[in-house]
Amino acid sequence: MTRPAVVLLSGGLDSATCLAMARRDGFAPYAMSFDYGQRHNAELAAARRVAQALGAVEHRVVKIDLAAFGGSALTDANIAVPESGVEADVIPVTYVPARNTILLSYALAWAEVLGGHDIYIGVNAVDYSGYPDCRPEYISAFQTMARLATKVGVEGASITVHTPLIRLTKAEIIQAGIALGVDYGLTVTCYQASETGEACGKCDACRLRAAGFAQAGVPDPTPYRAA
Amino acid sequence: MTRPAVVLLSGGLDSATCLAMARRDGFAPYAMSFDYGQRHNAELAAARRVAQALGAVEHRVVKIDLAAFGGSALTDANIAVPESGVEADVIPVTYVPARNTILLSYALAWAEVLGGHDIYIGVNAVDYSGYPDCRPEYISAFQTMARLATKVGVEGASITVHTPLIRLTKAEIIQAGIALGVDYGLTVTCYQASETGEACGKCDACRLRAAGFAQAGVPDPTPYRAA
């Protein structure tokens, strides 16, 4: 029987690549997305398209309530989304408190119910160096905690949080995904995409993504809206 | 300024005691409860009463979707709640996969937004020895992970998960709580309490609680329903 792996799937470029990699690694991928009070739903629509296109065994969307805490431009309507670039060594205002910890905890719960020991998350320590919960030492500490937290861990299994993108540049991620048949036209990265998935072309996420396609030497399939 | 601490508050005996202890320790307590598809709401009503009675600065109820995973008698209507006692060295069917990890992750997010470094959770390694996520080594691993996960941790602060009940018997918890003025008549422990908070007197939780009052030599204030 193919072993299950829970893949965190946002609908963006990185997590779509991760899903394709989980399949390549021989896992039966179970995709998990979160409805956490995003400002738009284009992201979740993209996650559904990607899960289907890349053959997820199942796709679950879990409603969570990050917006209740505020504290991030992505969930708090009172903080503006920056368009001015990422400053080095500063934690960006788009950082959501404890976000990856919450998402990985849900993935861990589903993995345990499925009898699985594997989770994929598309964190990247190159482009998102300012986010504490995208660093390898954080992922490693989560694995240690996860093994102690769970029935499968107590019974002797390791829990592995796979982070195949962690050291890749955006261009390398795109090249790897294209080799695995990922259709990036299905993905949405923009922090302020329209309901139908058109990107603004201005926010940090759009700029990183566009630069990635340019550096990869691959045509950018992103639908941009008129200025 | 009094430092904030997030206190996980279920509405049961243990977490009410924890809230009183957070105040005793000099923290401004912020109580956090979860609406996770419990079979009844008596527990959340109890949490509201306890938060108010013990002077929580704020009480938030976060909706979470544990029931989507199934896998536990507490959230899955297809698994019967046991009435036959806890077997030693066996993980009980009332174990919810990754439950404390998910709850602590939310507490961590709120602590970070509040600028706090402290979380209280009423886990107990004596009565709940079968739950992997009630053990000291799990809590310690969560703290390590939490420090790496967060802005406050990266800036140099430790995150402390306080578990003042972890080595106490139920009778000792009750004695400590009474000394701090906890009114246990406000709390609900029963897995299948009525809407108004009357306990069944038969489930594992009821039996552990009743034995605690007996051993503490304290009258049991629990409202039991007629058989």
Question: Quick check: helix, strand or coil at residue A1?
Answer: coil
pLDDT exceeds 70 at position A18: yes
Tokens linked to B102: 């998910």
Q: Using the Cα atoms of residue A59, residue A64, residue A67 and residue A72 in order, give the sign of their dihedral.
A: negative
Residue A84 annotated as lining a ligand binding site: no
A221 domain residue, yes or no: no
Contact state of A141 with B138 under an 8 Å Cβ cutoff:
no
Weakest-pLDDT range from A10-14, A154-158, B50-54, B176-180: A154-158
Please write the tens of the pLDDT for every residue from A54-80.
Answer: 999 999 998 887 666 655 544 554 545
DSSP string, A121-169: ----TTTTTT-GGGSHHHHHHHHHHHHHHSHHHHTT---EEE-TTTT--
User: Chains A and B: how many Cβ contacts under 8 Å?
Assistant: 135
Interior angle at CA A104, CA A99 and CA A108, nearest 5:
155
- A71-106 pLDDT tens trace: 554 455 454 545 544 444 455 555 678 889 999 999
Q: Which domain holds residue B15?
A: 4-187
Task: Note whether residue A176 is domain-resident.
Answer: yes
Interface test with A, best of B151, B152, B155 (most A CBs within 10 A): B151
Residue-wise pLDDT for A144-188, tens only, equals 999 999 888 888 888 999 999 999 999 999 999 999 999 999 999
Tokens of A165: 């993108």
* pLDDT number for residue A89: 47
Whether the pLDDT of residue B212 is over 70: the answer is: yes
Beta strand ranges found along chain B (DSSP E): 4-8, 28-35, 58-63, 118-120, 160-162
Torsion of CA B190, B194, B196, B202, to 10 degrees: -40
Q: How many CA atoms lie within 13 A of A9 on its CB side?
A: 35
Q: What is the DSSP letter of A224?
A: B
| Least CB–CB distance from B70: residue in A71, A96, A113 | A113
Find tokens 């998960």 and name the residue: B161
Residues B146-172 pLDDT 10s: 999 988 888 888 999 999 999 999 999
Domain count, chain B: 1
Average pLDDT over residues B39-49: 86
* ipTM field: 0.86
CB A149 within 8 A of CB A194: no
Q: Is residue A24 part of a domain?
A: yes
Mean pLDDT (chain A) is 86
CATH number at residue A120: 3.40.50.620
**Do residue A98 and residue B150 have CB atoms under 8 angstroms apart?**
yes
For B151, the enclosing helix (H) or strand (E) is helix B151-154
Residue A225 counted as domain residue: no
Residue A185 falls within a domain, yes or no?
Answer: yes
In a domain, B61, yes or no: yes
CA dist B35 → A19, B9, B63, B200 (Å): 31, 11, 5, 21
Mutation target vs A (from B35, B74, B90, B102; most A CBs, 10 A cutoff): B102
pTM: 0.88
In contact, B62 and B39? CB cutoff 8 Å: no
Residue B111 lies in a domain: yes
Closest chain B residue to A139 measured between Cα atoms?
B145
Residue B87 pLDDT > 50: no
* Integer Cα distance of A58 and A41 in angstroms: 20
